[in-house]
Amino acid sequence: MAGIAYYVGTPPSLQSVQSLATVCPPQAPLLVIPQGLGAGSGVGFQLPTLMVVIGVNNTVGWNDEDTTVVHVASSMSVPPDSLNWDLNMTGGRSYCVTLPAAGTYSYEIGFSPSTYAGIVVVKSAS
């Protein structure tokens, strides 16, 4: 039987990304989590696929406007030269992560009972 596991922090078997911040640089793409998403008003909500470039805008942020629940943004798969991340986000704040390696990063933003999947594609600066 498959299930969903929620945890605080990163399990010991996963390395955690070191570049997390609550103040995003001005060039960082910000994904907005709208107010009420956790209260069930997320019908039709979908995270966009982002394309970013190393050294230009490879710090990605989430602006959590939803004060109804705590959201958890977790990496699901990352390129071999990168690290995983978990962000416990509270409404009214922004959270950022720098993605240092080229490749495709998949992540989920979850709260019980809903989960939304997103993708960030990081390209080399060349």
CATH number of the domain at 21-123, out of 3.30.1330.90, 2.60.40.420, 2.40.50.1020, 1.10.10.10?
A: 2.60.40.420
pLDDT score of 33: 86
- Angle at alpha carbon of residue 30, lines to 16 and 101, rounded to 5°: 40
Tens of pLDDT along 28-50? Answer: 888 888 888 877 666 677 888 99
pLDDT score of 42: 61
Share of the chain above pLDDT 90, in %: 22
64 HSE (CA, 13 A, CB side): 24
Beta bridge partners of 62: 31, 95
| Extents of the domains making up the chain | 21-123
Which residues of the chain carry a pLDDT beneath 70? 1-22, 40-43, 112-113
pLDDT score of 112: 62
For residues 41 and 22, what is the distance between their CA atoms, to the nearest angstrom? 26
Cβ neighbors of 115 (< 8 A, separation 6 or more) are: 4, 108, 109
Beta bridge partners of 31: 62
- Angle at alpha carbon of residue 109, lines to 6 and 66, rounded to 5°: 110
pLDDT score of 32: 87
Residue 49 Cα distances to 13, 20, 29, angstroms: 28, 20, 11
Report the predicted TM-score, pTM, of the whole model to 2 decimal places. 0.77
For residues 50 and 42, what is the distance between their CA atoms, to the nearest angstrom? 20
